[in-house]
């Protein structure tokens, strides 16, 4: 995630996460992580222009400045991103991503800029910041779902949490957005079992 030296579509690396037959390319993962953060920011109520511009700066967007009109456009885009994470099955997830691709990607091309190995871009540098964000998140999610066999995206299993996540773990069995939520859920389940045992022993 962003604390892991993400490179956005404008700056790429060749680092791969290899899990059996799946290779999660670091460059392509930037779009997935950005989509994840946008959905979670809106859910957490931390959605404002300074926070969004800081997010885009961390993802190495050129000219990340936003105005109110751009924020409104992003507000319309984020529910479409959320529908990919919330999809109940593989078919629904593919439909959701196809909607993103249809609305967000106008051009796909390979490039070898800055001495990098050939890699894929989904937007031109001259596109607006919103157009670049749409293309980056749509393309990134499409590649991730292809490499992950339609799975590895979801929402936190803790009922009180509505955060979403992309699972790049080796086993692909992640159920929580964070270790903190997993620990809290385990504690709550334990307390629930203890309460039930005490009730039956009376």
* Cα 94 to Cα 173: distance, rounded to the nearest angstrom: 20
Helix 68-86 and helix 49-58, axial crossing angle in degrees, nearest 10: 70
Range 176-196 average pLDDT: 71
Q: CB under 8 Å, gap of 24 or more: what pairs does 42-49 form?
A: 42/75, 42/78, 42/82, 43/162, 43/163, 43/164, 44/163, 47/75
* Cα 4 to Cα 80: distance, rounded to the nearest angstrom: 26
Residue 16: beta bridge partners?
A: 25
pLDDT band at 101 (very low <50, low <70, confident <90, very high): very high
Q: Which residue has the higher pLDDT, 172 or 107?
A: 107
Domains of the chain: 2-201 (1.10.3300.10)
Residue 119: beta bridge partners?
A: 111
């Amino acid at each position: 995630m962003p604390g892991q030296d993400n490179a956005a579509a404008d700056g790429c690396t060749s680092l791969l996460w290899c899990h059996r037959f799946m290779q999660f390319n670091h460059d392509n993962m930037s779009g997935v992580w950005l989509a994840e953060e946008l959905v979670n920011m809106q859910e957490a109520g931390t959605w404002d222009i300074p926070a969004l511009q800081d997010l885009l700066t961390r993802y190495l967007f050129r000219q990340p400045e936003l105005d109110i009109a751009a924020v409104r456009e992003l507000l319309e885009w984020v529910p479409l991103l959320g529908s990919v994470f919330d999809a109940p099955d593989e078919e629904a997830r593919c439909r959701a991503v196809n909607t993103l691709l249809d609305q967000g990607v106008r051009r796909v091309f390979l490039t070898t800029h800055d001495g990098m190995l050939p890699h894929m871009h989904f937007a031109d540098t001259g596109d607006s910041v919103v157009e670049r964000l749409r293309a980056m998140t749509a393309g990134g999610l499409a590649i991730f779902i292809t490499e992950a066999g339609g799975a590895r995206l979801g929402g936190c299993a803790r009922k009180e949490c509505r955060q979403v996540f992309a699972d790049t773990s080796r086993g692909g069995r992640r159920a929580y957005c964070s270790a903190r939520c997993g620990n809290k859920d385990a504690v709550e389940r334990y307390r629930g079992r203890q309460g039930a045992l005490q009730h039956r022993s009376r």
